[in-house]
Amino acid sequence: MKALCWHGKQDIRCDEVPDPKIEHPRDAIVKVTSCAICGSDLHLYDGFMPGMESGDIMGHEFMGEVVEVGSENKKLKVGDRVVVPFTICCGECDQCRRGYFSVCERSNRNKSVGDKVFGHTTAGLFGYTHLTGGYAGGQAEYVRVPYADVAPVKVPSNLTDEQVLFLGDIFPTGWQAVVQCDIEPTDTVAIWGCGPVGQFCIRSAVMLGARQVIAIDRVPERLAMARAGGATTIDFETESVVERLNDLTGGKGPEKCIDAVGLEAHATATLDSMYDRAKQAVMLETDRPHVLREMMYVCRPAGVLSVPGVYGGVLDKIPFGMAMNKSLTIRTGQTHVNRWTDDLLKRIEEGQIDPTFVITHRASLADGPELYKTFRDKHDGCVKVVLQP
Ligand SMILES: NC(=O)c1ccc[n+]([C@@H]2O[C@H](COP(=O)([O-])OP(=O)(O)OC[C@H]3O[C@@H](n4cnc5c(N)ncnc54)[C@H](O)[C@@H]3O)[C@@H](O)[C@H]2O)c1
Ligand SMILES: [Zn+2]
Ligand SMILES: [Zn+2]
């Protein structure tokens, strides 16, 4: 079959690879009908995430048709149409039973590495580093789904692929980021990053009743999409984010701040960002946490910082004393996807939201390598890429 494979920094190729097989009786094989490129894929593409190996199959946002099921799988049958959440979960461990699916204790088949690096393992993830199991991803014609009797979400035939595809990642990710903020009707929510995740944060914050939603980025078409979703926007390249946020909140700062940017933050020649770039270049720092620092500084005391943006390793010069003295709550995590999928699928069916608004590019798997670059560089108005194998 054909699949998009990682071969090193900025080197993704559409390769011919062996078809996946059932390896465990709970598995299923899914024929992928649609998959997407996620901002998290860019951290692998740009070489910031350790634990990748040449030939790894990329992709963790995908859906398709079940073409084979293992003998113990009682949930799925051949022909079912499913969206597959990016977090692999067993459904039975202590964490899964509490709904903390992204930290499933059993699904990371490289658990010993996870335990060593993180103190305790996190869940297995599709198409991601070997720290999280090194499972083959879904930017492929077929994919093996482990524990396929737990996470896959069956979707009704009257909804198109594009309407439901993002239930596997960015829609629940934006939603969880806002739910973690415990929105009050009087709240201002400020969202850094108007990429696909930021866009779903904006729409979720509006749906969950925030009084004011403010979105920050510098890419004009992403800012325009944010405004169409109900946000007031700030261009961090031409405006002072801190001044504008204070102006828009009567000088008090936003109560809720969301980092939908993560470890590859850009900033306009601030002292802290030049420091990050220099340290990252000589491998003394893994991440560029400019947004985290800015959120800690501008957030209203007793506010919440919600961090769906991905960080990889060690962060420098985080003003933790500021966060502590201001009584800030910090909430973060890979998304516990299945915690939200029933509710969000219903909202799509009821027409409360049409997730297709974010799609700007549609192409075949063979065009994938080129589109990684287009998405990373935000060329050609690119916000979200959907590929059809
Ligand atoms: N927690 C999860 O489960 C989960 C799931 C999906 C994605 N993510 C992460 O969410 C983040 C965003 O993903 P995406 O798909 O939207 O990616 P993206 O790269 O398209 O979006 C990031 C956006 O941030 C903007 N940006 C950069 N520096 C900024 C700054 N200083 N201030 C404001 N905006 C800035 C960029 O211009 C870009 O539009 C990534 O880190 C991704 O790994 C996390
Ligand atoms: Zn993702
Ligand atoms: Zn589990």
pLDDT at 148: 98
Select from 3.30.70.330, 3.90.180.10, 3.30.460.80, 1.10.20.10 the CATH code of 2-169+335-388.
Answer: 3.90.180.10
Ligand nearest to the Cα of 233, by number = 1
Q: Tell me which of 89-103, 262-276, 319-333 is least confident.
A: 262-276
Q: How far is 61 from 237, CA to CA, in rounded Å?
A: 31
| Ligand 1 atom at shortest distance from the alpha carbon of 40 | 43
Q: What is the mean pLDDT of residues 8-37?
A: 98
Q: Record the pTM.
A: 0.97
Q: Is 290 in the pocket of ligand 1 (CB under 6 A)?
A: yes
Please give the Cα distance from 372 to 31 (Å, whole number): 22
Instruction: Say whether pLDDT at 277 is over 90.
Output: no
CA distance 218 to 215: 10
The residue contributing the CA closest to ligand 1 atom 14 is 39
Q: Judge whether residue 284 has pLDDT over 80.
A: no
At 139-171, the pLDDT tens digits run: 999 999 999 999 999 999 999 999 999 999 999
Q: How far is the CA of 264 from the centre of ligand 1 (A)?
A: 8
Taking the C-alpha atoms of residue 25 and residue 23, their distance in angstroms, rounded to an integer, is 7
C-alpha distance across the termini of the chain, in Å: 10
Locate 194 and state its tokens.
């108007």
Supply the residue whose CA is at minimum distance from atom 11 of ligand 1. 309
Q: What pLDDT does 271 receive?
A: 74
Query: For the chain, what are the domain ranges?
Result: 2-169+335-388, 171-332
Lowest-confidence pick of 195-204, 250-259, 260-269: 260-269
Report which protein residue has its CA nearest ligand 1's atom 26.
Answer: 193
Ligand lying closest to the C-alpha of residue 291: 1
Q: Which of 101, 200, 217 to mutate to test the pocket of ligand 1 (most atoms within 8 A of CB)?
A: 217
Ligand nearest the Cα atom of residue 237: 1
Query: What tokens does 158 get?
Result: 């009257």
Spell out where 38-179 has E strands: 56-57, 61-69, 81-84, 87-88, 124-125, 142-145, 153-154
Query: pLDDT by residue (tens digit) across 42-81?
Result: 999 999 888 999 999 999 999 999 999 999 999 999 999 9
- Whether ligand 1 lies within 6 angstroms of the CB of 266 is answered as yes
CATH number of this structure's domain 171-332, picked from the four choices 3.40.50.720, 3.40.50.300, 3.20.20.70, 3.30.540.10: 3.40.50.720
pLDDT in tens, 324-378: 999 999 999 999 999 999 999 999 999 999 999 999 999 999 999 999 999 999 9
* E-strand stretches of the chain: 2-6, 12-16, 28-37, 56-57, 61-69, 81-84, 87-88, 124-125, 142-145, 153-154, 188-192, 212-217, 232-235, 256-259, 304-307, 329-332, 361-364, 385-388
